[in-house]
Amino acid sequence: MSLAGLVLVVEDEDPVRRYTVSLLEELGFTVLQAIDGIEAIATLRRRSTEIDAMLLDHSMPGLSGEEVLAELEREGLTVPVVLTSGYDRPSLERRFAGHEIAAYLQKPFRLETLDETIRAVLAKRAQAS
């Protein structure tokens, strides 16, 4: 089953961003890209109501994933966030306690893992609406 929707990929490493975008497009998504937290916030200010999910890198120069989340919360922008990182999930859960994280995705990930994660996030979002 092909998925549809708009996903924002926030990743500072070009090869990782391109890989993630290609996987999401293979799954049937339309993808927006941001190379850092500043660009992500600007995109979300313009298009938050259109974006179905955001894959947010945990560690980036400039604004980190944590700082992006804090800014979104301050501005009342809501979008399901899938936090991506090379760190293990328990470490991330402790660090991001109190932030609204829809799912965690450990790098490196494969198409199947990305597919399962995105499907779960979108299903949860659909149930909440």
pLDDT of residue 2: 43
Residue 3 has pLDDT above 90, yes or no: no
Range of the structural domain that residue 109 is part of: 6-125
- The reply to whether 91 falls in a domain is yes
- What mean pLDDT is reported for the chain? 90
The DSSP line for 63-88 is S-HHHHHHHHHHHT----EEEEESS-
Please check whether residue 51 is in contact with residue 79, taking contact to mean a CB–CB distance below 8 angstroms: yes
Eight-class DSSP state of 79: -
Task: Tell me how far the alpha carbon of residue 54 is from its chain's centroid.
Answer: 3
pLDDT digit string, tens, across residues 57-104: 988 888 888 899 999 999 999 899 999 998 887 777 777 777 789 999
What's the number of domains the chain is made of? 1
- The reply to whether 24 falls in a domain is yes
- The reply to whether 1 falls in a domain is no
Q: What is the CATH number of the domain that holds 54?
A: 3.40.50.2300
Percent residues over pLDDT 70 in the chain: 98
